[in-house]
Structure formats: C-alpha cells, structure tokens
Amino acid sequence: MRAIQFSEIGGPEVLRLVDLPEPSPGPGEVRIRHSMIGVNFIDTYHRSGLYPLPLPSGLGLEGVGLVDAIGEGVTRFAPGDRAAYCTGPIGAYREAHCVPQERALHVPAGISDEIAAAGLLKGMTARYLLHKTFPVKPGDFIVLYAAAGGVGQICAQWAAHLGAVVIGIVSNPQKAALAKSLGCAFALIQGAEDIPARVREISGGEGAAVVYDSVGRDTFAQSLDCLAPLGMLVSFGNASGPVPDFSPNLLSQKGSLYLTRPTLFHYTRTPALLQETADALFAVLASGAVRIAPPTRYALADAGQAHRDLESRAITGSVVLVP
Ligand code: NDP
C-alpha cells in the first residue's frame, strides 16, 4: 500500500512516498479504501514539528472512500458502505486507513467523495466556530482572516447566511473579489490598508463583536485592535506561526476582551458531538446556503507539492489528494 511518511520534521521535502503493508482493522475499526484524502493546514504543523508527533509518522486526518474490511464488534458499517472521517487517526495520506467506527461518518448521497474530502474538517470547523465558540447573530460585525481559503470560504458563506456583516481579510485583490462573491460584505487586503481603522469605520466606530483569526503570530495584535469592548478573539490557527506569550492585562487594556484558542477535536470529542456537528454541516450544504467549491487536486505522491502551494498562499479553497 502506498503511503506518505516522514521520519524527520522539516519542509515539504521530508514527505516520502513509501510502501507499507495493508493495515488490518482492529476491534471496533473499519478499513476505508480512500477515493479522496483531505489536505489541511494542520498537516503542515505536524510536518514542521509545530505540533510534535512521534516519528516516523504518517500524516493527514481526513479521508473518504468505501469500507472494505471491518474489525470485530463493528455494527455501524458493513463492507461496501461509504465512510468518511476528519478527526484522525493521523495517517490519512495513504491508500487505505483503519478508523474507529465511532470516528467515521455516513455521508449523505448528495455529497460527492470529492466535496466530502474538501469540506468535512473545514466545514465542521466553520460550524463550531460560528455556532458554538461565538454564536454569530444577525447584524454582528465579524472579522474573518483567510476568507478565500478552505475554512474561510465556508465560514464566509455560513456567517453571511446567519446575517452577520462579514469583513474578510485576504492578501491580494483576486482573493478579495472571491471573498466578496462568497458573502463578505467587505474584503480588506492585509498590508495595503489599516485594518483596525477600517473595521472601526465599517462598524460605526464600535469595532467587531468577534475576530476569527487563523493567521496567529503576524495578526494577533491587529486582531485585538479590531474588537469592540467585550469582544472575543477566536485564535484558531497559526498560518504565520504561533502567537507569542503575552500578559492577560493586555485584554483589559484593549477593552475587557475575551480570548479563546479552540480546536475541532474538543468540539467533536464524543460520538454524539461529532455527529451533531456533521449533521449541521450536511444540513447547511443540503439547503444550498453554503457551497463547497471543487478542490485543487494532487496525486498522493505529490503531497509535498500540495503543502508547498498551500503554505505559499497560492491556493484558494480546499486541497485534496487522489490516491
Ligand atoms: P487555508 O486554505 O485557509 O490556507 C491558509 C491561508 O492562511 C492562506 O491561504 C493565506 O490566505 C493565510 N495566511 C496568512 N498568513 C499566512 C502565512 N504566513 N503563511 C501561509 N498562509 C498564510 O487553510 P485551511 O483552510 O486548511 O486552514 C485555515 C486555518 O484554520 C489554518 O490556520 C488552520 O490551522 C486553521 N484551522 C483550525 C482548526 C481548529 O479547530 N482550530 C481546524 C481547521 C483549520 P491569504 O493569502 O488570504 O492571507
């Protein structure tokens, strides 16, 4: 079985295509033969060592395909069923992967394998961010970084559907046009304008109710300056590196602000929470309020190139690997 592995942390060049024995499902596990594999920015944190893993390691948390073997005690799936997962176990960048049945999902027939791999992890993230971490209300001014990216495109549409005034932040005019077409009322270009000043102007001087910041180090201070008093900074990613240490007094000085650093894994920690989150995503996709664009495809062997392109900010929307 072909798989991507790495035995040292580093850049995309550490990813190697290797041949591994076929995995056998253990008790309670299903083996999914992948048709599509989701690529997520978190995979680059695992590869670079920002989120350390025991080495050598596989990579990737998300895949979809047909179940072709089941372990003892599996009741939720039978061979031939379609199944998808997006919270690991680590090692999705391979032809087939064994997943505990309670972490696997049945995907509705109206969602293709390609769209499931492009949108499950990212769409479930959008759901908990907008409904659980800070429940967005009609008329809320919200700031959303990387609005033309994988998570960003879904969040922009979903937040606009909830009635928020979405202020997207992107890195160039092409991404700004795309963000606006997806529901951002405003799309500001990082580096080209004074973002906190523009956010205050747009929100009538008050500032944003919430900032969803996936960029991390480079934008943390700016994000605090965009918020209204008692606003919430949702720092949910590190695309530019991790946020440096700071004193909680800063939150007081900037307006008695709230800060949270959430992760999907806690919001989907039980089978019931995982299913509830997935069902909410499936419902918003079925309604047509959110559409997931066809992802950029790479062959499994080209996983390193997929990482290079994702980290260079060259891509809009989602990325998948085809085994
Ligand atoms: P994206 O498709 O959004 O790609 C990342 C985007 O971040 C880039 O396109 C770029 O957009 C922006 N960016 C800003 N600064 C940098 C930088 N220095 N280097 C690279 N990119 C930069 O990826 P995903 O949709 O997979 O993930 C988006 C973010 O959400 C990531 O930070 C990820 O870690 C986080 N995430 C967090 C989860 C959680 O539960 N906490 C779950 C899922 C994702 P632009 O060019 O417009 O600036």
What number is the average pLDDT over the span 210-214? 99
Domain definitions of the chain by residue range? 2-120+293-322, 138-261
- Ligand 1 atom 2, closest CA: 149
**Per-residue pLDDT tens for 82-140?**
999 999 999 999 999 999 999 999 999 999 999 999 999 999 999 999 999 999 999 99
Query: According to the model, what pLDDT value does residue 57 have?
Result: 98
Atom of ligand 1 nearest to the CA of 121: 43
* For ligand 1, mutation pick of 127, 154, 215 (most atoms within 8 Å of CB): 215
User: Which atom of ligand 1 lies closest to the CA of 267?
Assistant: 40
Ligand 1 centre to CA of 147 (Å) is 9
- Round to whole Å and give the CA distance between 179 and 107: 27
Phi, psi angles (nearest 5°) of residue 219: -120, 0
What's the pTM value of the predicted model, to 2 decimals? 0.98
138-261 has the same fold as 2-120+293-322: no
Q: Which fold has domain 138-261?
A: Rossmann fold (3.40.50)
CA–CA separation, 238 vs 167, rounded Å? 20
**Residue 211 CA to chain centroid, in angstroms?**
16
Of 37, 39, 40, 41, which is best to mutate to test ligand 1, by the most ligand atoms within 8 angstroms of its C-beta? Answer: 41
Q: Report the alpha-carbon angle 262-265-266, nearest 5.
A: 60
Q: Pick the residue whose CA is nearest to atom 7 on ligand 1.
A: 146
Q: Give residue-wise pLDDT tens across range 4-19.
A: 999 999 999 999 999 9
Report d(CA 316, CA 147) in Å as an integer: 9
CA-wise closest residue to 275 among 61, 86, 73: 86
- Phi then psi for residue 174, to 5 deg, are -65, -45
H or E, element range at 301? none
Q: Which atom of ligand 1 is nearest to the CA of 147?
A: 47
Q: Is 210 helix (H, G, I), strand (E, B) or coil?
A: strand
Tens of pLDDT, residues 182-195:
999 999 999 999 99
The C-alpha angle 108, 136, 255, rounded to 5 degrees, equals 145
pLDDT tens profile 248-264:
999 999 999 999 999 99
Ligand 1 atom 28, closest CA: 151
What pLDDT score does 65 carry? 98
Q: Average pLDDT, stretch 40-69?
A: 98
Q: Is the CB of 170 under 6 A from ligand 1?
A: yes
Atom of ligand 1 nearest to the CA of 152: 3
How far apart are the CA of 251 and the centre of ligand 1, in A? 24
Q: Percent of the chain scored above 70 by pLDDT?
A: 100
Q: Check residue 275 and give its pLDDT.
A: 98
User: Which pLDDT does position 256 carry in this prediction?
Assistant: 98
CA 10 to chain centre: 21
How many CB atoms sit inside 10 A of residue 6's CB? 24
Ligand 1: residue whose CA is nearest its atom 4: 149
Say which CATH topology domain 2-120+293-322 has.
Quinone Oxidoreductase; Chain A, domain 1 (3.90.180)
Q: How far is the CA of 172 from the centre of ligand 1 (A)?
A: 15
What does the pLDDT read at residue 319?
98
Task: Give me the mean pLDDT over the 261-278 stretch.
Answer: 98
Mean pLDDT to the nearest integer, 287-292: 98
- CA 79 to ligand 1 centroid distance, Å: 36
192 CA distance to ligand 1 centroid (A)? 19
> How many A from CA of 253 to the centre of ligand 1?
28
The answer to whether the beta carbons of residues 184 and 156 sit under 8 Å apart is yes
